[in-house]
């Protein structure tokens, strides 16, 4: 029930609310009844001043003011003041909300009386001792929590910090000069003694000690106590006694007795008084600025550091804490000026909103312990699940080096094809498998690159400057091929040399495996890809090109046709100029490949797919058969074991024979029969598996062949459709069955020349109708 109530309070408190302001009027025999009147609701106070006749006929001087506050405390007892002003703030501090109560006003108006009260009269004790009492009472009412209370008493005089409890024994370095420090845990005054108080009485003696020190200091250091700010802080930390609760709350209650707000030294003050006045006026106006800034949501910067008072109270002013201000005023006519000034301050503060929130923290040690407990429970739960699902030997501990090495080897075998499947054991293992894939992939990448570097100089494709330089130096021809490459196909015109054409299956297979897993992300001239990716070619333009160059992919780096066509080296290629009927730039290979598969390559593609389906089907069957074999093997083993048991039993009982025949009981006999049957099954399945494996090998071969065929045909089609000019094709096609797409471009130009020469010879005087642009021919690589 109580819990429920608390919860509701927290929800309610998380909404915005105002700074609470009260005015307390000090009792006097000369109360200015004509000038000060109170509203009936006890929440407003009106001030009326007679017009100043000295100001002449035109007199715009304001004479009436009305202040609306949260309460007017006139002739109010200390009891009543506490209940109205402090009780709620203190109660909420035990729920984790910071609270600050401040007394503001001119010297002698009753700030200290309100805050501390008179020490000699218990009845007249102020907010401070009453707050301590309430805290300890509430702790007693909460046996479910372990709550600690600590206190400190700080005085700020002329911007210097004084510890009013420094005379008491304190665990900590008392010699440290005091300074205000901001830490992730909040703001604190370094060097200020903070004292643990287990009981109400202890807290009181601390308070008395502080008050005595305050008086002594005012004499010995020539301090005027009304010129200093005093902050008494109660620190509360509440841990639930239930260990499962990891949250705990911390809060502070700051009880602030501010320095007199009167504007001292307006005229003629000097020395110490002027200094005090300057500091007080400044710190009080900084206090006001800080509270106003805190209330303004749009303000990002709050000027806390301007003075010690606001800096020390940084996390306890407005903002997320409960804040109450009491304006202590005189009721005498002579003090009306200062009374007015204090009331103005209070009403400005009243406009400010705060958003109190709980200071909740997590007990790291408790959290770790609870998580450990939960981990053990979950492991037990998993073990139960495993045994119910007949999963044995599954561990959930982190893998050791040996296990990781084993997974690495599995992945390698899987990649080279000697392992068909990697069995899934648990999540950790699956993650490690992926991890090992990455490890092997990057190793292979490095190996491939290293071997290429041994043979070739690699240039970044995007590095136009280098490419141009190399081009100028004659190292790369206009087609982007390195000079010295026979046939000029080294950089992937898409035309493969004859030596690398189908028929060289063994070589293909090797290269194919080499490429697998070496698809590189790095930019450069290299972009080999796994031929397995052939179906998803549309994702990468450069990949298609390299995979289409089968045999020498590993050794011969290939240029990205598309990319290189945009480079200055190729942009002025003559082919571009002479192409009229076909698009200016050849289409990207991936999309062309899609088109090819639907057109000329459709039949090969269909067969390729069909073979792949068959291959997959056989693989699946093989895996199923293997599984069956395993389970038969297991059953054979258990049957054998059972037979052994029977046999031992029979031997122990003493064997008996009948006419040379062994007598055995029916159970044993049935087991033998079963074993025989199982062995037969085992042999059958084993034979099936062997057949399937042979079939798989064969199918794999077919699939590889089809893939190769598809790629080669595509290359030819691509070259004929987009790269070789029709004018070049026409005279050569007439010759017969030459597949032009199969030839490297350099060869084609020589052929064209040859043809032209023959035509010229035959028709002697006739001009050839061949209109191959001379520039094109002259710049084509030989």
Binding site for ligand ADP (CB under 6 A): 26-27, 105, 107-113, 118, 226, 260, 328
| Minimal distance, residue 295 CB to Mg ion, in Å | 27
22: exposed, middle or buried (C-beta count within 10 Å: 0-12, 13-18, 19+)? buried
**Distance from C-alpha of 64 to C-alpha of 336, rounded to nearest angstrom:** 12
**Distance from C-alpha of 721 to C-alpha of 581, rounded to nearest angstrom:** 11
Nearer to ligand ADP, 112 or 543 (CB): 112
| Minimal distance, residue 24 CB to ligand ADP, in Å | 7
Tokens of residue 378, six digits: 């979950």
| Minimal distance, residue 112 CB to Mg ion, in Å | 3
Nearer to ligand ADP, 331 or 517 (CB): 331
Contact status: 228 vs Mg ion (CB under 5 A): no
Nearer to ligand ADP, 113 or 157 (CB): 113
Single out the segment in contact with Mg ion by CB under 5 A; choices: 109-117, 227-235, 541-549, 643-651. 109-117
| Minimal distance, residue 283 CB to ligand ADP, in Å | 16
Beta-bridge partners for 443: none
Contact status: 116 vs Mg ion (CB under 5 A): no
Nearer to Mg ion, 259 or 293 (CB): 259
239 binds, among Mg ion, ligand ADP, none (CB under 5 to 8 A by kind): none
Instruction: Give the three-state DSSP class for 152.
Output: strand
Residue with tokens 């400005």: 348
Contact status: 112 vs Mg ion (CB under 5 A): yes
117 binds, among Mg ion, ligand ADP, none (CB under 5 to 8 A by kind): none
**Distance from C-alpha of 149 to C-alpha of 154, rounded to nearest angstrom:** 17
Beta-bridge partners for 101: 255, 324
Single out the segment in contact with Mg ion by CB under 5 A; choices: 104-112, 300-308, 481-489, 651-659. 104-112
Beta-bridge partners for 20: 324
| Minimal distance, residue 258 CB to Mg ion, in Å | 9
| Minimal distance, residue 255 CB to ligand ADP, in Å | 13
- DSSP per-residue letters across 311-356: HHTGGGSSTTSEEEEEEEEE-BGGGHHHHHHHHHHHHHHHT-EE--
755 binds, among ligand ADP, Mg ion, none (CB under 5 to 8 A by kind): none
328 binds, among ligand ADP, Mg ion, none (CB under 5 to 8 A by kind): ligand ADP
Q: Are 257 and 100 spatial neighbours (Cβ–Cβ below 8 Å)?
A: no
End-to-end CA distance of the chain: 96
**Distance from C-alpha of 134 to C-alpha of 357, rounded to nearest angstrom:** 21
Q: Are 128 and 255 spatial neighbours (Cβ–Cβ below 8 Å)?
A: yes
Contact status: 106 vs Mg ion (CB under 5 A): no
105 binds, among Mg ion, ligand ADP, none (CB under 5 to 8 A by kind): ligand ADP
| Minimal distance, residue 132 CB to ligand ADP, in Å | 19
205 binds, among Mg ion, ligand ADP, none (CB under 5 to 8 A by kind): none
Full 3-state SS string of 705-752: HHHHHHHHHHHHHHHHHHHCCHHHHHHHHCCCCCCHHHCCHHHHHHHH
Output the CA–CA distances (angstroms, integers) from residue 353 to 21, 123, 161, 325, 575, in the order listed: 12, 34, 29, 13, 77
Nearer to ligand ADP, 42 or 623 (CB): 42
Nearer to ligand ADP, 261 or 410 (CB): 261
Q: Are 703 and 607 spatial neighbours (Cβ–Cβ below 8 Å)?
A: no
Nearer to Mg ion, 107 or 482 (CB): 107
Contact status: 84 vs Mg ion (CB under 5 A): no
108 binds, among ligand ADP, Mg ion, none (CB under 5 to 8 A by kind): ligand ADP
Nearest to residue 718, comparing CAs of 615, 593, 614?
Answer: 593
126 binds, among Mg ion, ligand ADP, none (CB under 5 to 8 A by kind): none
776 binds, among ligand ADP, Mg ion, none (CB under 5 to 8 A by kind): none
| Minimal distance, residue 122 CB to ligand ADP, in Å | 14
- Which residues of this chain interact with Mg ion, rule CB under 5 A? 111-112
């Amino acid at each position: 029930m109580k819990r429920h109530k608390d919860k509701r309070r927290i929800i309610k408190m998380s909404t915005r609310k105002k700074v609470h302001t009260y005015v307390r009027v000090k009792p006097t025999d000369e109360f200015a009844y004509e000038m000060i009147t109170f509203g009936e609701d006890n929440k407003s106070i009106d001030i009326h001043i007679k017009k100043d006749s000295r100001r002449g006929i035109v007199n715009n001087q304001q004479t009436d003011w009305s202040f609306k506050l949260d309460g007017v405390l006139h002739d109010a007892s200390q009891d009543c003041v506490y209940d109205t002003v402090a009780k709620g703030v203190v109660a909420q501090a035990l729920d984790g909300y910071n609270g600050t109560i401040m007394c503001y006003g001119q010297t002698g108006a009753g700030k200290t009386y309100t805050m501390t009260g008179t020490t000699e009269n218990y009845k007249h004790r102020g907010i401070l001792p009453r707050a301590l009492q309430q805290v300890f009472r509430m702790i007693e009412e909460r046996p479910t929590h372990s709550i600690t209370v600590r206190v400190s008493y700080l005085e700020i005089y002329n911007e210097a910090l004084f510890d009013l409890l420094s005379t008491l024994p304190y665990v900590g370095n008392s010699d440290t000069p005091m300074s205000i420090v901001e830490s992730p845990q909040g703001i604190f005054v370094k060097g200020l003694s903070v004292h643990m108080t287990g009981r109400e009485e202890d807290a009181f003696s601390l308070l008395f000690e502080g008050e005595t020190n305050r008086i002594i200091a005012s004499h010995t250091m020539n301090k005027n106590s009304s010129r200093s700010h005093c902050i008494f802080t109660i620190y509360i930390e509440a841990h639930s006694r239930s260990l499962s609760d990891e949250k705990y709350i911390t809060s502070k209650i700051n009880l602030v007795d501010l320095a007199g707000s009167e504007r001292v030294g307006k005229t003629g003050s000097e020395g110490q008084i002027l200094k005090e006045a300057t500091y007080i006026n400044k710190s009080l106006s900084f206090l006001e600025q800080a509270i106003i800034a805190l209330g303004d949501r749009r303000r990002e910067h709050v000027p806390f550091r301007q003075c010690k008072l606001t800096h020390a109270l940084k996390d306890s002013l407005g903002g997320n804490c409960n804040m109450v201000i009491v304006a202590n005023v005189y009721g005498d006519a002579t003090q009306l000026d200062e009374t007015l000034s204090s009331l103005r301050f209070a009403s400005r503060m009243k406009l400010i909103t705060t958003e109190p929130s709980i200071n909740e923290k997590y007990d790291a040690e408790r959290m770790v312990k609870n998580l450990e407990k939960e981990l053990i429970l979950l492991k037990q739960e998993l073990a139960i699940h495993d045994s119910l699902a007949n999963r044995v030997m599954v561990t959930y501990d982190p893998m050791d080096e040996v296990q990781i090495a084993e997974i690495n080897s599995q992945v390698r075998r899987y990649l080279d094809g000697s392992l068909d499947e990697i069995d899934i054991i648990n999540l950790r293992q699956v993650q490690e498998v992926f991890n090992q894939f990455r490890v092997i992939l990057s190793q292979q990448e490095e190996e491939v690159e290293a071997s290429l570097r041994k043979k070739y100089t690699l240039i970044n494709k995007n590095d136009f400057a280098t490419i141009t330089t190399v081009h100028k130096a004659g190292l790369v021809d206009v087609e982007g091929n390195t000079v010295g490459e026979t046939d000029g196909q080294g950089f992937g015109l898409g035309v493969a040399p004859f030596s690398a054409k189908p028929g060289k299956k063994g070589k293909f297979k090797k290269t194919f495996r080499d490429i697998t897993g070496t698809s590189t992300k790095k930019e450069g001239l290299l972009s080999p890809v796994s031929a397995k990716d052939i179906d998803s070619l549309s994702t990468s333009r450069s990949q298609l090109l390299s995979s289409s160059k089968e045999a020498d992919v590993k050794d011969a780096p290939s240029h990205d046709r598309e990319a290189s066509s945009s480079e200055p080296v190729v942009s002025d290629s003559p082919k571009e100029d002479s192409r009229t009927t076909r698009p200016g730039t050849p289409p990207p290979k991936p999309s062309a490949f899609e088109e090819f598969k639907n057109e000329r390559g459709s039949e090969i593609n269909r067969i390729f797919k069909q073979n792949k389906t068959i291959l997959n089907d056989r693989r699946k069957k093989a895996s199923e058969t293997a599984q069956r074999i395993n389970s038969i093997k297991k059953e054979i083993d258990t049957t054998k074991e059972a037979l052994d048991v029977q046999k031992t039993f029979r031997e122990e009982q003493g064997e008996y024979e009948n006419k040379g025949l062994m007598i055995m009981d029916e159970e044993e006999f049935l087991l033998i029969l079963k074993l025989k049957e199982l062995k037969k099954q085992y042999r059958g399945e084993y034979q099936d598996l062997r057949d399937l494996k042979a079939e798989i090998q064969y199918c794999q071969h077919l699939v590889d062949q089809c893939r190769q065929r598809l790629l080669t045909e595509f290359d030819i089609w691509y070259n004929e459709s987009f790269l070789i000019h029709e004018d070049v094709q026409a005279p050569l096609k007439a010759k017969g069955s030459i597949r032009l797409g199969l030839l490297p471009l350099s060869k084609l130009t020589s052929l064209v020349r040859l043809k032209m020469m023959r035509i010229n010879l035959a028709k002697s005087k006739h001009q050839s109708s061949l209109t191959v642009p001379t520039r094109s021919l002259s710049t084509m690589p030989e």
